[in-house]
Chains A and B, each alone.
Chain A
Amino acid sequence: MKKISMKFPKITPWIIWVGFLSLMIAAGVAAGLMVFWKGLVVTNLTDLVPWGLWITIDLSSIAVAAGAFSLCAGVYLIGLKRYHAVARTATFIGLIGYTMALLSLVMDIGRPDRFWHALVYWNKHSLLWEVTMCVTLYLTVLLFESMPIFANLEWLQTRFPKLTDKMKGIHHYAPYLAVVGLGLSMLHQSSLGAVYGVLKARPLWYRPDISVLFIISAVAAGMSMTVFVSMLSARLSKRIKVDDSILERVAFFIGWILVGYLYFRFWDALSMTYTYDPGRTEGLKLLTSGPLSFNFWVGEMLLGIVTPMILLLNGRTRALPFWRMLALALVVGGVVAYRWDTNLAGFLVVLSYLPGLPAVTYTSYTPSLIEFMAGGGVVAYGMLAVSLGVRYLKVVDHDELHEEEHAHQAKLVEAATTGD
């Protein structure tokens, strides 16, 4: 037996996948160190386009994390207990998503050593202050919500059985955590849109709809990511069992969210086409016929909303794993494209402040290699973390039904009834 374990590990697809991600992370760490060493001059950001690729990754990973609050709310507040296992997957993806966001932000700010200022010095008027507070608090909520998941680690279970018992016990508070999570997420998922939406100097952004669109798209992307990861895991490993009827229902629901999302996007965009508004009209043109038009029409609309909407609402395509997974991946891609386009369309249009009718000029932005490497590292970290979670923490697991958690629940009910 010992001889076998001494042998070089067999090259499995898993090893290749982990190796590939590790390489990406290593490149990302190297790029990140360059950023800390040389400063943000290594990026292609300018005073006119101060936010770029990393902010897109930050916004997208928070959007993808939105499955956690929405599915937890569904399970613990609306009472759709059947979806418990999916909410569990979403919670873990949420946790990873938020840590990805923090990683990209630490690189993006000019003084990473002062990141704690955001928590200590408060300007309550700032949307970013609100986002910081909500994200920090919600990350704490997610950590608590993920405790029962981390308790699944075999190594921890054998060494500290009492600790893992306690960690599993946190499950009792799931409904309360879900309420707090819902409140915090509703606030900051929308405020991330409002970060742009309150800037009067940028007419393309200055509108209330943007916060509504941010949260709807986030819920679509978050749920899609959750179901996609669940389906992919079950297909890649025989040990992982999923209840496909549940995933199919969530996918159907995502289809309807896309209908709502498209509806709001349509009226939002249409209302901006009337009358000439300096800056706004040009921004919209960038999206519909300018350099961002392919992203907008193909990435966001056709592939990001319309195609998956049809694939997920049509029972026949939804039943086929390939088409359903394709649709879910497209939703995530579409939302990432939406974040990228929103950020860039507002910055690329430079509105003059000189007297007379504001004149418009354009600037450009293409991320530098370092930005791509560092951003890729953050994404690879997220993928690796989720992969490890699926493999070692049973993040995707509809089979076991978490007997212990149910035992706790039973005890609680018993206590409540005997207490009367």
Chain B
Amino acid sequence: MAEKEFNRRDFLKISGVGVTALAGLKMIKRAEASSSVEGAHQWAMVIDQSKCTGCGYCTLACRAHNDVSPDISWNKVIQVNDINGKDVFIARPCMQCAKAPCVDVCMVGASYYRPDGIVMMDYDKCIGCRYCEAACPYNARAFNWEAFTGSNPAVPEWGQPEVERRGRGVVEKCSFCYQRIDRGLQLGMIPGVDPDATPACVVACPVGARIFGDLKDPESNVSKLLRERVSYQLRVDLGTSPRVYFLPYGPEGA
């Protein structure tokens, strides 16, 4: 009888140690933290608030190229201020965070990092739990509450979207037009320089308020701008390390 007691206690001890070890292991792995693997390129976007007029062409171009429903904006243009009678806007694509909360919380790994830093969505994996929507500080994600059917009013008659339309029940978001980048690179173009290899919103901006390029290349437009000009990112206090930079409004900047 005494021996039986001992056995059970032993078993408990072993289980206890096991569970603690497992939890410990998990925490270590967590501390290593998922962040994007540093690939050959690190794409980033700079948005110049001095130039932005809030026309909304970027949103429209985004809708047309990515077949985004009129109910959803991957890229939002918001009026933030009124300085000396001039309206100041901010455009909010997905921040493509280097430490993205959405990637951390996605239970099936439908949100993931590409080696070039783009936070991607695997629409075939997403189960639509919407945990990422709760986690994203930028409200950059939108859920397909209903199926988007019929023609897209943003798509002109002479063109067609570059990516497949998302179905009902998954969360979608801006992808830095990865399809344009990938195809452009294949054809030997430079994203950020050649329009065909650059995100649609950047190309469509009539005032050149958006600049796109490779942070890994010190001579790229974004690298130069970030060296020369004062810039900021949104909610850096959260430790997300966004890859979208803003040049603040100022008369000298224009």
Q: Give the CA-CA distance A350 to B134 in the complex, in Å.
A: 11
Q: Please, which residues of chain B bring their CB within 8 A of the CB of A355? A: 80, 90, 232, 234, 246, 248
Q: Which residues of B contact A199 (CB under 8 A)?
A: 101, 105, 134-135
- Size of chain B's interface in residues, with CB distance under 8 A? 58
Q: B10-46, CB under 8 A of A: which get 1 and which 0?
A: 0110010001000100100110001000000000000
Which of B103, B232, B234 is within 8 Å of A353, CB to CB?
B234
- Please give, as numbers and ranges, the residues of chain A lying within 8 Å of B137 by CB-CB distance: 200-201, 351, 353
Evaluate contact between B107 and A123: CB separation under 8 angstroms: yes
A195 touches B131 (CB 8 A): yes
B238–A110 touching, CB < 8 Å? no
**Cross-chain contact B134 with A51 (CB below 8 angstroms):** yes
Q: Is the CB of B136 within 8 A of A110?
A: no
B177 within 8 A of A: no
User: Are A127 and B130 neighbours in the complex by a CB distance under 8 Å?
Assistant: no
B-side contacts of A321, CB under 8 Å: none
* Cβ-neighbour of B127 out of A43, A47, A117, A417 (below 8 A): A117
Q: How far is the CA of A420 from the CA of B4 in the complex (A)?
A: 11
Most A Cβ at <10 Å: residue of B107, B128, B147: B107
**Given A39-B169, A176-B11, A183-B19, do A200 and B238 touch, yes or no (CB 8 Å)?**
yes
The answer to whether A156 has its CB under 8 Å from any CB of chain B is: no
The interface residues of chain B lying within 8 Å CB-to-CB of A4 are: none
A358, B127: Cα distance in complex, Å: 31
Chain A residue contacts of B108, Cβ below 8 A: 117-118, 121-123, 129
B229 at the binding interface (Cβ < 8 Å): no
The verdict on A259 contacting chain B, using a C-beta distance below 8 Å, is no
**Which residues of A pack against B, CB within 8 Å?**
38-41, 43, 45, 47-48, 50-51, 77, 108-111, 114-115, 117-118, 121-129, 132, 175-176, 179-180, 183, 187, 195-196, 198-202, 346-347, 350-351, 353-355, 358, 413, 416-417, 420
24 contacts between A and B (CB under 8 A): A39-B146, A45-B145, A47-B139, A47-B141, A48-B139, A51-B130, A51-B134, A109-B129, A110-B130, A110-B169, A114-B126, A118-B107, A121-B109, A123-B106, A125-B30, A129-B108, A175-B8, A179-B11, A179-B12, A180-B15, A200-B238, A354-B78, A354-B90, A420-B3
Q: Could you list which residues of chain B lie within 8 angstroms of chain A, going by C-beta atoms?
A: 1, 3-4, 8, 11-12, 15, 19, 23, 26, 29-30, 34, 78, 80, 90, 92, 101, 103-110, 125-131, 133-139, 141-147, 168-171, 232, 234-235, 238-239, 246, 248
